[in-house]
Amino acid sequence: MIKRNAYDALVRLAEQFPVVAITGPRQSGKTTLAKMAFPEKRYVSFDDKNMRELAKSNPGDFLRAFPDGAIIDEAQKVPDMFDAIKLIVDNGGYSPGKFILTGSSQFRLKENISDSLAGRIGLIKLLPFSIDELKEEGILSDDAYDYVFNGFYPPLYDSSKHYLRDDWFENYIDTYMDLDIKDQINPSNVNAFRKLIQLCAARSGQMVNYNGLSSGLGVSAVTIKSWLSILEASYIIHFLEPDSNNLGKSVVKTPKLYFVDSGLMCYLLRIDSKEELMLDDHKGAAVETMAVSELLKKRFNSGKKSNLTFFRDKNGFEVDTIADWKHTFAIEVKSNSNTEKKMSSNVRKYIDLRADGSEGKVYYLGDLTCELNGVQYVSWKDWGK
């Protein structure tokens, strides 16, 4: 069982908040993480119809059967449970880490959390495996394109199962559409929504063109914005907002769109092998998608907000990612495997413009992390560290 880097942050939050919720995309390992971190807690799944009916009949009495708390999986399937948890938390004295909540339907889970448990709950976002987690487990291969192409969803790395990549992703999308989307949009728009996911895959790493997507699908730009917010809320895509530090320049105001998992992106693009990917026009975007995802995992696994933006001015000068963390890092992502000074030109220019001690990094596909001309070249094996 691969230890998750979010383990420490989850335990840290559980030492402070009476309730902790683990959110994230389907099949990212939320339940496994909860059981790993709290093996002494009783585990309850509302996928079990009998357990679900018991909880619905009297949520308060149901919870009192677990005086030491519990891990409650698929908690969103009993909405009244959240008010019952609130009453127990408010009236039972301070008891950090009493209830750990997980669920596959992010919309319902988040809605119930915000309605009933605001101020009482710690939240942690769990994305699929990171490069660092596979490296620590000793199972990281030497070919970066294995991961750009296949992605990082845990079931694809479970040696006790024998999933074929394409079959697994096909089922993943079908399940997502059936269980998460059909009650969020008009049923007549299901096919258009599915097509939108494919269009987004072809635009990962690009600024969002709402009108272009609108005309391509035959729905309004307002609808496109609404649907994209659904994809973001369910961790299929992520937006990077433009950097607000305009350095005296006129900057763009439109966010960039990224898939959360490059493997799912490649599947939707109908790329059949890593060799085909290496010759595909989307190769650079797929590599950049994986790099941004690793940065997101680094922050989310620490229980922190992403604080990632990008910089682009009206003249087209761009830096792929700006990480405003303890220090500010300007990061360029390249699909090259060799270090070249010209790969860091935008990073160095941006740092000179800021003149505030910001650091430059180039994420590339080589095996050696090193410094060249004041900029750190970071091997793909160290992305997210």
Domains in the chain with CATH codes = 7-125 (3.40.50.300), 131-382 (no CATH)
pTM for this model (two decimals): 0.94
105-110 long-range Cβ contacts below 8 angstroms, 24+ apart: 105/76, 105/179, 105/180, 106/23, 106/24, 106/25, 106/180, 106/233, 106/234, 106/235, 107/180, 107/184, 107/230, 107/233, 107/234, 108/76, 108/77, 108/79, 109/21, 109/23, 109/75, 109/76, 110/23, 110/233
pLDDT in tens, 207-219: 999 999 999 899 9
Q: Which residues contact 58 (CB under 8 A, 6 or more apart)?
A: none
Find the DSSP H helices in the chain.
7-14, 30-37, 49-57, 59-64, 80-91, 106-116, 131-137, 144-150, 165-176, 190-202, 210-217, 221-233, 262-268, 274-278, 283-300, 345-354
Instruction: Report strand pairing: 70-73 vs 99-102.
Output: parallel
Cα distance between the two ends of the chain = 21
CA angle at residue 33 from 234 to 9, to 5 degrees?
Answer: 85
CB-based contact 325:384 (threshold 8 Å): no
* pLDDT for residue 245: 77
Query: What stretch of H or E contains 121?
Result: strand 121-125
Report the amino acid identity of residue 191.
N
Residue 1 clears pLDDT 90, i.e. is over it: no
pLDDT band at 179 (very low <50, low <70, confident <90, very high): confident
> What would the pLDDT profile of 105-141 be if each residue is shown by its tens digit?
777 788 878 777 888 899 999 999 999 999 999 999 9
Higher pLDDT, 247 or 267: 267
Average the pLDDT over 150-164 and give the result: 95
Rounded Cα distance, 9 and 20, in Å: 11
What does the pLDDT average to over 23-29?
94
Gap between the Cα atoms of 385 and 383, Å rounded = 6
With contact defined as beta carbons under 8 Å apart, do 78 and 55 qualify? Answer: yes
Q: Which amino acid is at 239?
A: F
- Band (pLDDT 50/70/90 cuts) for residue 169 is very high
Please count the residues of the chain.
385
User: What is the tens place of the pLDDT at every residue in 183-239?
Assistant: 889 989 999 999 999 999 999 999 999 999 999 899 999 999 999 999 999 999 999
317 class by beta-carbon count within 10 Å (0-12 exposed, 13-18 middle, 19+ buried): middle
Backbone angles phi, psi at 240, to 5 degrees: -105, 125
Share above pLDDT 90 across residues of the chain, in percent, rounded to a whole number: 83
pLDDT of 212: 93
Q: In the chain, what percentage of residues exceed pLDDT 70? A: 100
| DSSP letter (8 states) at residue 309 | E
What would the pLDDT profile of 259-290 be if each residue is shown by its tens digit? Answer: 999 999 999 999 999 999 999 999 999 999 99
* Coil, strand or helix at 208: coil
